Structures are given as C-alpha cells and as structure tokens.
Amino acid sequence: MSDALELDALWEDFHRVVNMTSAELAAWLRVSDADERTEPLPDQAGDATGQHVLAILQKRRTDLTEDDLRVMREVVDTVTAQTDLENEPAAEDTARRHRLMSLGHDPLKA
C-alpha cells in the first residue's frame, strides 16, 4: 500500500513542478537544440532528460517504468532545489530559465 501512496505522491509532485504541456516541452526542445545551420529531428531534440520527461508526460501512471520513476524523482528534486514554487520571481537569469524549461518547468508560467 505504501508503494501506491509513494507513486501517487511522486506523480502529483512531478506534475506540479512540470508545468509545461508535452506540446510546449517538445517545441522548446526543438527550438533550444536548433542552431543557425542545423536542426535535429523532432524526436531527437533536446538532452536525454528532457526527452525522457516528454515521454513521461505522454504516459499513463500505470505504464511508468523504474527508469521513469528515477527521472521523475530527479526532476522534482532539481526543480524544487532551484525554485521556490510559491514565490517564484520573474526569471532574470535566462540561462537558469532555459535549463529549467528543458526539464518541463517554465518559471514564468503561472
């Protein structure tokens, strides 16, 4: 029973910190990975963690793997450590905002 409760809490925490939709994250990963001369294939854009977050957003809770759970914990820990979700300031630090957006969290999104 405690495993189900832990999964529920992780699911809720993950979806609380990941405030971008899968479409928004996919678009961001494509834009952030493009440069003046090349653009990656849509399913290869962004780093491995960003791609994994995108895949998790497209899954049902019952389809999660152990690797998905590991990434979800990492994302929750990373975003929580770098933000104060209750009183998050406007992100003056563009690089910080872009790093968080690659994990599915846009600090400027209400």
The confidence score (pLDDT) of residue 7 equals 93
Along the chain (110 residues), what's the average pLDDT of each consecutive run of 10 residues? 82 96 91 55 66 95 96 96 64 79 87
**For the whole model, what pTM was predicted?**
0.81
pLDDT at 14: 98
Closest CA to 12 of 61, 59, 52: 61
Q: What's residue 90's pLDDT?
A: 52
Q: What is the DSSP track for 18-71?
A: --S-HHHHHHHHHHHH--SS----GGG-S-HHHHHHHHHHTS-GGG--HHHHHH
Token code pair at residue 85: 């979700």
Which residue, 30, 25, 23, is CA-closest to 45? Answer: 30
| C-beta separation of 71 from 48 below 8 A | no
